[in-house]
Amino acid sequence: GGPATAILRTVDLTKDFRGFTAVNSVNLEVADNTIHALVGPNGAGKTTLFNLLTGFLQPSSGQILLRGDDIAGKQPEQIAHLGVARSFQITSLFDEMTLIEHLELALASPTGLGYKFWTSRKQLGQFKARAMELLDQVGLADRAGVRAGSLAYGQKRALEIALALANDPSLLLLDEPTAGMGLEDVDRTIELVKKVSGGRAVVFVDHNMHVVGSLADRVTVLQSGEVLAEGTYERVRSDERVITAYLGE
């Protein structure tokens, strides 16, 4: 009940690297069922923040509340198990494996972070129907049997999103979903993110302001590890400090 509940809230989240503060007392609030953009100049701390949220880095101090429970200090597998999934900017695909095999493996893994033991082809077969559903969702159903290595760049990025959806996360983190894409793929990705955001919260990092403006219900602007501005796209884009931060890049 009450006004939009926060699925994610960080409290004074801080990460120091030997005296250098990459994330400095960040208070981020992401409402459930919303799309939230994280923007800021290079070095602002966006990647570090994603690494903290997913347990790939441990915070120096502060809290990470997922539906009110502090997950700071948990391992990536535990956080994934709690419903947080991340699609990587750097490709994590196997060129020789088919698309459906990628999805079957992701579905066979309890955390989506990879499987720890040998899984037989027969065991994987039980995931076929769900794997096809996920491929269909990202527009790749007709490519199910082809090797990932033969996909075009935009299709690889769509496959990565499908993989992140395998465990039906309640919080989906997308690291620069449109990086390196041409206009057509950018627009396709905007539609895809809108489509897969239903029933969950999405936090994404992107440098393309057309993408941010098209997708984000809320925008948090980081600079030098600190929150510079937060609000709707319209509000933050006209914020003097934000304009200055970007001009100074």
User: Which residues are near ligand ADP by CB under 6 A?
Assistant: 17, 20, 22, 40, 42-48
3-state secondary structure of 172: strand
For the chain, how are helix, strand and coil distributed in percent, rounded to 5? 35, 25, 40
- Closest separation between CB of residue 83 and ligand ADP, Å? 24
Q: Pull the structure tokens for residue 237.
A: 């884009």
| Min dist. Cβ of residue 108 to ligand ADP (A) | 31
Q: Which is nearer to ligand ADP, 61 or 123 (CB)?
A: 61
Least spacing, CB of residue 29 vs ligand ADP, in Å: 19
Nearer to ligand ADP, 170 or 223 (CB): 223
d(CA 96, CA 106): 16
Residues in the chain: 249
CB of 92 to ligand ADP, least distance (A): 18
3-state secondary structure of 10: strand
Q: Which is nearer to ligand ADP, 39 or 162 (CB)?
A: 39
Of the pair 48, 167, the CB lying nearest ligand ADP is at 48
Rounded CA-CA distance 143/97 in Å is 12
For ligand ADP, the closer of residues 42 and 120 by Cβ is 42
3-state secondary structure string across 30-64? EECCCEEEEECCCCCCHHHHHHHHCCCCCCCEEEE
CB atoms within 10 A of CB 150: 12
Q: How far is the CB of 154 from ligand ADP (least distance, A)?
A: 22
